[in-house]
């Protein structure tokens, strides 16, 4: 893929995927705070 597979990249995708891949169908979760974004990204990272 175009992104590194790490928590920081996941957090960026969750917060604003349109900046990374315009036209994707995932809504931005830019209303989440930094700690909330890292928590969600950490959870998703742990699923692999």
pLDDT in tens, 8-39: 999 999 999 999 899 999 999 989 999 999 99
Residue 13 lies in a domain: yes
pLDDT band with cut points at 50, 70 and 90 for residue 3: confident
Alpha carbons 32 and 14: distance in angstroms, whole number = 9
Residue 16 lies in a domain: yes
**What is the torsion angle, in degrees rounded to the nearest 10, for the CA atoms of residue 20, residue 26, residue 28 and residue 34?**
-80
Alpha carbons 17 and 27: distance in angstroms, whole number = 8
pLDDT for the residue numbered 1: 63
Domain assignment of residue 35, given as a range:
7-46
Residue 27 lies in a domain: yes
Residue 1 lies in a domain: no
Structural domain count of the chain: 1
Residue 28 lies in a domain: yes
CA angle 29, 30, 33 (to 5 degrees): 100
What is the pTM assigned to this prediction? 0.79
């Amino acid at each position: 893929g175009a992104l590194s597979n790490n928590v920081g990249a996941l957090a960026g995708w969750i917060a604003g995927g349109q900046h990374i891949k315009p036209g994707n169908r995932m809504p931005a979760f830019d209303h989440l705070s930094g700690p909330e974004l890292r928590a969600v990204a950490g959870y998703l990272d742990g699923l692999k």
